[in-house]
Structure 1
Amino acid sequence: MKKVTIADVAKHAGVSKSTVSQYLNQRFDYMREETKIRIEETINELGYKPNILARSLKQKSTTTIGVIVANILHVFSTQVIRAIEDVCNEKDFHVIICNADDQPEKEKKYIDMLRAKQVDGLILFPTGKNVEQYQELISENYPVVFIDRLINGLQTDTVLLDNEKASFLAVDSFVKHGYSKIAVLSPPIEPDVTPRVERLSGYKKALEHHQLSIREEFIVSGKTTDMQSLIHHLFQLSDPPKAILATNDRSLMELLSYVKKNKLSIPKDIGLIGIDDVSFADIYNPGLTTVAQPAFEMGEKAAELLFKRIQEKEEPNQAEIYRFEPTLIQRESL
């Protein structure tokens, strides 16, 4: 079948090609309502599909952004992505989502691929291992925003939680409920993964604030595949903890799995708080006390910052770090 062109639409609707072009680009300021209706009906009747590539070349915009997530399995990541997509939908932009699996090689490949596709900007949950590539983006004034992780020395807008406060709120709540033997459970503490480093720091500062000793055997970190044995070792200590702070959703689920397998009772045998307000926290029995991140607000902020960068024609102003407040949601796990 012969491909329907913008000229075919214009001829069939009895208008000029420029009028059809204005309609397609939603420039309706001086267009009569009956003209809009006639063009819309013609497009539907002829089955016209705009040439997206040609339009992007003409407008110097693909109306597409890329989002590279460190690990899409986290609840926080999916909530942030949803918020970004909502903002983009309002602006008639498309989103390409890539999952780096915390692998620098995959992240680098995705950055190269998205730039080759000429996306208008990037939102990164950076692995932290491709600093030269990040710096190249920034030096070229390419629109880029970081979220969840801070890369020291790079001048780009970054959106993240006040992670130290998140842990502080949790430990403070434990202490107020009478706990003094408080452990922390975390994925591997890696310098480039800001939330892990800062949440551990917040945990230690909170213990010091309440004049509680920091016991190294109560600081448990490791891969998900090792979590069960690490938790078991924690409970086998001669003087085990009476409360555990799980620093993210996946650590929390490993802890809950251990509790169930070993028929432990919450909070009788162990008090529990998790950072990230997982969807099942309020329906779990007992309800799980959590420290929530404002994920949707953080995703919206990241998208807004990126669009501001995209719209700026000259060199952007000084980059800023935007910290969001965590919220303690008290339930029955203490």
Structure 2
Amino acid sequence: MSTTPPGTPPNPSSAPTRRATITDVAREAGTGKTSISRYLNGEFSALSPELRARIEAAIARLDYQPNQMARGLKRGRNRLIGMLVADLTNPYSVEVLQGVEAACHALGLMPLICHAANEVEMERRYLQLLTTYRVEGVIVNALGVREETLRPVGEGGIPAVLVDRRVEGLVADMVGLDNGAAAELGTRHLLERGFEHIWFVVQPFEQVSSRRLRVDAFDRAMR
């Protein structure tokens, strides 16, 4: 049971801490918000050394953290790259993801990873979500994404790159290997060494172009 008398003001230490705003920093530094924006954007030549020092001190005292999303939308760039992955448990997907993260880090971009868990409906929902975040590009390694699902991305001016699979009707860059040649090469290698009963093991392939290419190449080589 509380023993605090009625009407007692709340303890300031128990109230949630409000994050400092750019207005707070300007007031603390004794300048205007325009000068703070110039400092945050690296336009140091427009500021005197004394003013830069005051702004830096004010930011440190207030522990000010700029809203990167708001700044990005104001500049028309948010440095976000969306990546839609069908299955993060697949070792191939993990290798691709590591490469994407390394490239983004080198270019000052932030990858936004969406794991669809091999669900077509989840892929559609994630692509819609990425467009609302106004990502600067989308990398797609999906299970059953279709042209009509990706069309809002392209029509919205967001470039898309497909990873090791194509989407019928969609004109987009694709990074991958020659799946047909690879499957045929492997199959012929076994045939030339006298193997006769060869099984081709593959995940569900009806909706994935790269898997269909490998199955077709295997069938041709066996015939």
Q: TM-score normalized by structure 1?
A: 0.52
Q: Identify the residue that residue 187 of structure 1 maps to in structure 2.
A: 203
Q: Identify the residue that residue 256 of structure 1 maps to in structure 2.
A: none
Structure with the greater relative contact order (CA < 8 A, sep ≥ 6): 1 or 2? 1
Contact 1:121 1:144 in 2 (8 A): yes
The structure 2 residue matched to 1:138, chosen from 123, 146, 154, is 154
Which residue identity does 1:116 align to in structure 2?
T
The answer as to 2:99 corresponding to 1:99 is no
How far 1:130 sits from its partner (Å)? 3.4
Aligned positions, number: 207
Q: Aligned to 1:196, what secondary structure does the other structure show?
A: helix
Q: Identify the residue that residue 62 of structure 1 maps to in structure 2.
A: 78
- Comparing both structures, which one devotes a greater share of its residues to helix? 2
How far 1:197 sits from its partner (Å)? 0.8
How far 1:141 sits from its partner (Å)? 3.0
Contact 1:4 1:48 in 2 (8 A): yes
Residue deviations 1:186-232 (CA, integer Å, cap 9, x gap) = 11231x3012111112223334xxxxxx4xxxxxxxxxxxxxxxxxx
With over 3 angstroms needed to count, the CA separation of the structure-2 counterparts of 1:58 and 1:136, relative to structure 1, is closer
Q: Aligned to 1:97, what secondary structure does the other structure show?
A: strand
Residue deviations 1:60-106 (CA, integer Å, cap 9, x gap) = 23321221112221111111112112222223322221122232211
The answer as to 2:213 corresponding to 1:201 is no
The answer as to 2:157 corresponding to 1:159 is no
The structure 2 residue matched to 1:47, chosen from 57, 63, 78, is 63
How far 1:113 sits from its partner (Å)? 1.8
Q: Identify the residue that residue 120 of structure 1 maps to in structure 2.
A: 136
Residue pairs, 1:202-241, within 5 angstroms: 202-207=217-222, 214=223
Q: Aligned to 2:199, what secondary structure does the other structure show?
A: strand
Q: Identify the residue that residue 187 of structure 2 maps to in structure 1.
A: 171
Structure 1 portions without partners, runs of 5+: 208-213, 215-334
Which residue identity does 1:90 align to in structure 2?
A
Question: 2-side partners of 1:170 and 1:90: how far apart?
Answer: 36
Question: 1-side partners of 2:93 and 2:177: how far apart?
Answer: 13
Which residue identity does 1:193 align to in structure 2?
V
Q: Identify the residue that residue 270 of structure 1 maps to in structure 2.
A: none
Contact 2:28 2:58 in 1 (8 A): yes
Q: Aligned to 2:84, what secondary structure does the other structure show?
A: strand
If you compute each CA radius of gyration, which structure gives the higher value, 1 or 2? 2
Residue pairs, 1:65-80, within 5 angstroms: 65-80=81-96
Contact 1:124 1:147 in 2 (8 A): yes
With over 3 angstroms needed to count, the CA separation of the structure-2 counterparts of 1:155 and 1:11, relative to structure 1, is same
With over 3 angstroms needed to count, the CA separation of the structure-2 counterparts of 1:18 and 1:185, relative to structure 1, is same
With over 3 angstroms needed to count, the CA separation of the structure-2 counterparts of 1:180 and 1:89, relative to structure 1, is same
Residue deviations 1:27-54 (CA, integer Å, cap 9, x gap) = 5678899987875565334311102343
How far 1:109 sits from its partner (Å)? 1.1
Q: CA RMSD in A?
A: 3.1
Q: Aligned to 1:98, what secondary structure does the other structure show?
A: strand
- Comparing both structures, which one devotes a greater share of its residues to strand? 1
Contact 1:53 1:62 in 2 (8 A): yes
Q: Aligned to 1:186, what secondary structure does the other structure show?
A: coil
How far 1:132 sits from its partner (Å)? 1.6
How far 1:150 sits from its partner (Å)? 0.6
Q: Aligned to 1:185, what secondary structure does the other structure show?
A: coil
